Amino acid sequence: MKIELPQVGESVTEGVIGKWLKQIGDRVEKFDPLVEVVTDKVNMEMPSPVSGTLSSIIAQEGETVPMGGLIAEIEVEGEEPASAVPAPIAAPQPQAVNRTGELLKDVAPVGPTGGVLNMETDTPVSSGRKRYSPAVLRLAGEHNVDLSHVNGSGMNGRITRKDVQQAIDQGVATTEPATAAPQTAPAPAVPGADEERIPLTPIRRLIAENMVKSATLIPQAWTTVEVDVSGLIQRRQAVRAEFQEREGINITYLPFVIKALAESLKENPLLNSSWGGDSIILKKRINIGVAMATSEGLMVPVIHNADTLSIAGLAKRVHDLTDRARRSQLRLEDVQGGTFTANNTGVLGSVESKPLVNYPQAAIMTTEAIVKRPVAINDAIAIRSMMNLCMSFDHRIMDGAEASGFINAVKARLEAIGPNTGIY
C-alpha cells in the first residue's frame, strides 16, 4: 500500500521528513508513529494508516514533500505488493517477451510518459535529462551544484537534499554560474579553517522561507506608539501572589496585552483580516498567535477565540502553550487558524522593533521592554514605566489611519488598567 503525506490544513502545503521512526522490514501496527514530519506550523509524528511491514522508504530524511506526496510503501497481508504488479506495455518488443519474474536483458524499460527509465536513479529520463525533486533542484541552483557529479543515497540511487548538502559541504560538484567571470579571473576564496558552515535544520529552513514570503509578498508599513503602563505594573503586582496561590502559575504582563488586543480587534475588524487578491477577507473569529522562542526555532501557537477569555483565562492559555512549545509537544490544532500575531520582544531587551507580518495575516504587533523614564504629565515631570508598541501592517489592506486607530485603541486600554481592573 502506498503511504502519502496527509493533508493537515489548507495553509500547510508541504512538509520536511524529519526522522523515520521505523525502518524497512519493520512490522508496523495501525496508528503506530511512523515518521516525524516538520511543517512551517509544527513538528508532528505521523501515524501509520495501516498494519503491515514497511517495505520501502521513498522520501528520505531532510527531503521536502508536498502534502499528498508519496513517502513510503507498506505491505499489507493479503494485498499484492505494488512492485509485483506489472506495468502495462503499449507496444511490447518481440525480444522482450518472456516468463513473468525472469530478468530480461538488453531491454530498455519504458517510463509512463514514454521516456526511458534510468534504473540506476529510479528517475524518469526524457530527452536525456534526469528529473529531480523541487527541493533538490532549488538547493543545487542556489549553490551552483552539478547534479551529474553527485552520488545519490536514496532508493535506487536517487539524489536527496542531504546528498546535495554533503556535496556543498565538501566543496565539490560545483559549476560556474552563467554570469561567472572569465576563466582568467581569480577564483573565489575557498572557505578555510576560519569559517564554519552550519547546516539548516528543517524548522530553520521553513522559518526562512516564510520570512522571505512575508517580506516579498506583503507591502509592509510600520508604526509605533509609547504607552504608560504604570497602572498595569501596579495591578499585576497586586494580584500576583493570590493568582499564583490560586492557579499555580505566574501571571505575566502578556495576558493583559492580549486582552487589550482582542477587544481592539473587535472594534477594528480590518486588522483581523487577510488579502484575497480581488477582495479583503474579514475573519469573524479572533485567534491571536503568540510568537515564542524555542530551542528548535520560532513557534507561533494560537489562542483561539481570545476575545471570549478573561485575563486569567488568557494567562492559563499562554502558560499551557509556552510550556508545551518548549517541550515540543504542540499539536497541529495549536498552531492553526491565527488571525493576528503578538510578539513580546521586550523580554529579549528590545525597546523598538519592526516585525514581519505573519503571512497571510494583516498585521503583527510587538510589545517592547518596559523602561522607567521621566515624562511630562499635566505640565509636571514624573517617573513612569513606559513601553513601546510597534506594529507592521499590510498596506494593501489598510492605510495609516486605520492602523493608527487600532494601535491607539490598544494603547488606551493598556493605560486604563488600574486597581479595579477585573482578572476573572
Give DSSP secondary structure letters for 184-242: TSPPPPPP-TT----PPPHHHHHHHHHHHHHHHHS-EEEEEEEEE-HHHHHHHHHHHHH
120 neighbors 151 (Cβ within 8 angstroms): no
Q: How far apart are CA 92 and CA 176, in angstroms?
A: 43
- Three-state DSSP at 422 gives coil
Question: Quick check: bond before 360 cis, omega within 30?
Answer: yes
Q: How far is Cα 306 from Cα 254, in angstroms, rounded to an integer?
A: 13
What is the secondary structure of 327-382 as a DSSP string? Answer: TT---GGGGS---EEEE-GGGGT-S---PPP-TTBSEEEEE---EEEEEEETTEEE
Q: How far is CA 155 from CA 58, 152, 166, 230, 367, in A?
A: 7, 8, 17, 63, 49
For residue 318, the SS3 value is: helix
What are the catalytic residues?
395, 399
Q: Are 287 and 341 in contact (CB under 8 A)?
A: no
Q: Within a 10 A sphere around the Cβ of 307, how many other Cβ atoms?
A: 18
| H/E run at residue 262 | helix 254-267
Q: How far apart are CA 264 and CA 194, in angstroms?
A: 51
Taking Cα atoms as reference points, which of 350, 343, 358 lies closest to residue 393? 358
Which of 113, 112, 133 is CA-nearest to residue 121? 133
For cell 511543517, name the residue: 39
